[in-house]
């Protein structure tokens, strides 16, 4: 019979800076999953980890225990290489929606389990759920069958997958322990590695609209994520990308889906496609489907120009009950009652489009959630958003505001007027894609 590990003893060891054993970490995760640890005990250990940190070995053990707290998808019967991408989140970041069919069209399966947004804008799930009829709530069995059949599936996290993470994330959110790098690593990787993938590419963002504002701290997270994934036998790379202004020209759920469809048609915004190709190329190289980044980029570009990626997206919609007619007619997506341009009051060059300011304006319109139980308005948001460096004249639109509420529109417009700055001197946009780690 094994030693009984009392929660208070495990908490005390981490409080005092000790390295926890595999058995102690397993007991903690089991306690979160089956309720044998009280919320106050789980919270105490989360705070001890936040203050004292975890070694790479501890973080890998925590990730593995959280991954095994539920079902781990077995996609070994699918002979195609299987790759996924995860972003640490940003404003206007709709990359997954068009990247997944592009990569799948290149012969690499993309089993992707995504989350809902909590904060300024919706998550990938919220965006895709703006497509009439599209079903994200597939079981792991249905998801596995879809990946085998079309090489692609985009679903929301199910109750079968990493249940310990749902409990611990909720507690981290209310105990001010969200920013701990070991806890972030375990949360992200426990879900991603339970998908049944072979390789993982991470988009780690830094800047005003990112979860990690500080670039050095974001790099620390990127190193930790790739190291832990490697320790668990999964090759991973992290691409550092800037999030000081929103990606693309649209912010808001249905509006971002429409922009992703334009990307698949070959008319995506320059910055959005730069990030898309950087991440997609790493997925293909890591999965062994291309010898290097230039060859991988050429394959991805060909998937768009040939129409293969758009056809794969249509196939995804049909497989998950979505209306495939949105591919040809974006008006079938939810539409806001009013669309009004926000005019520039000055002539000059766009000096700043503050990502967080734009995000908060979108949140005020109803495009995101301030609280987990809030409903998202899929129709609202912004389109035609200017980019840093653009030349504008007085009276030109800085963006178009899509709204369903007059008061929200007025308040969002005021926020946007502060977030978008026009100066007199030409501005060179800062680099977007940076270091590749791992």
- Rounded Cα distance, 214 and 67, in Å: 28
Q: For residue 191, indicate whether it is catalytic.
A: yes
Give burial (CB, 10 Å; 0-12/13-18/19+) of 52: middle
Q: For residue 230, indicate whether it is catalytic.
A: no
CB atoms inside a 10 Å sphere around CB 428:
8
E strand or H helix at 406: helix 406-419
Q: For residue 378, indicate whether it is catalytic.
A: no
- SS3 string of 11-32? HHHHHCCCCCCHHHHHHHHHHH
Q: Exactly one of 165, 203, 354, 377 is catalytic; name it.
A: 165
Q: For residue 55, indicate whether it is catalytic.
A: no
E strand or H helix at 156: strand 152-156
E strand or H helix at 143: helix 140-150
Q: For residue 187, indicate whether it is catalytic.
A: yes
Nearest to 168 by CA among 340, 44, 22, 331: 44
Q: Exactly one of 85, 86, 94, 402 is catalytic; name it.
A: 86
Q: Exactly one of 14, 68, 116, 191 is catalytic; name it.
A: 191
Q: Residue 279 in contact with residue 99, Cβ under 8 Å?
A: yes
Which residue is associated with the tokens 């908490």? Answer: 11
Q: Residue 248 in contact with residue 94, Cβ under 8 Å?
A: yes
Q: Exactly one of 172, 219, 299, 312 is catalytic; name it.
A: 172
Q: Crossing angle of helices 293-305/308-319, nearest 10°?
A: 70
DSSP 297: H
Q: Residue 122 in contact with residue 376, Cβ under 8 Å?
A: yes
**Positions marked catalytic:** 86, 165, 172, 187, 191
């Amino acid at each position: 019979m094994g030693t009984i590990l009392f929660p208070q003893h495990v908490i005390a060891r981490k409080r005092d800076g000790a390295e926890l054993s595999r058995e102690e970490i397993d007991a903690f995760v089991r306690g979160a999953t089956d309720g044998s640890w009280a919320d106050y005990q789980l919270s105490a250990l989360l705070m001890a980890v936040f203050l004292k940190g975890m070694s790479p070995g501890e973080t890998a053990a925590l990730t593995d225990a959280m991954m095994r707290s539920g079902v781990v998808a077995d996609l070994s019967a699918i002979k195609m290489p299987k790759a996924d991408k995860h972003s640490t989140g940003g404003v206007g970041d709709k990359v997954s929606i068009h990247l997944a069919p592009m990569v799948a069209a290149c012969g690499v399966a993309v089993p992707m389990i995504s989350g809902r947004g909590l904060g300024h804008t919706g998550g990938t799930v919220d965006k895709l759920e703006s497509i009439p009829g599209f079903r994200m709530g597939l079981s792991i069995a249905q998801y596995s069958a879809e990946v085998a059949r079309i090489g692609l599936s985009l679903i929301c996290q199910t109750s079968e997958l990493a249940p310990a993470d749902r409990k611990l994330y909720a507690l981290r959110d209310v105990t001010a322990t969200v920013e701990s790098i070991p806890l972030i690593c375990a949360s992200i990787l426990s879900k991603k590695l339970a998908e049944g993938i072979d390789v993982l590419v991470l988009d780690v963002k830094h800047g005003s609209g990112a979860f990690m504002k500080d670039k050095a701290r974001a790099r620390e997270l990127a190193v930790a994520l790739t190291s832990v994934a490697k320790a668990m036998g999964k090759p991973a790379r992290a691409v550092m990308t800037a999030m000081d202004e929103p990606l693309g020209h649209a912010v808001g759920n249905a509006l971002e889906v429409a922009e992703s469809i334009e990307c698949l048609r070959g008319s995506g915004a320059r910055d959005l496609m730069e990030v898309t190709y950087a991440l997609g190329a790493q997925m293909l190289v890591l999965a062994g489907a291309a010898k290097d980044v230039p060859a991988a980029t050429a394959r991805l570009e060909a998937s768009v120009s040939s129409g293969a990626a758009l056809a794969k997206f249509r196939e995804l919609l049909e497989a998950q009950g979505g209306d495939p007619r949105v591919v040809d007619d974006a008006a079938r997506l939810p539409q806001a009652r009013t669309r009004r341009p926000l005019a520039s009051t000055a002539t000059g060059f766009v000096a700043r489009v503050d990502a967080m300011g734009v995000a908060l304006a979108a949140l005020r319109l109803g495009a995101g959630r301030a609280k987990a139980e809030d409903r998202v308005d899929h129709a609202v948001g912004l389109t035609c958003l200017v980019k840093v460096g653009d030349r504008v004249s007085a009276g030109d639109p800085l963006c178009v505001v899509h709204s369903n509420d007059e008061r929200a529109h007025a308040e969002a417009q005021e926020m946007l007027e502060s977030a978008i700055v026009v100066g007199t001197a030409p501005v060179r946009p800062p680099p977007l894609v940076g270091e590749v780690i791992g």
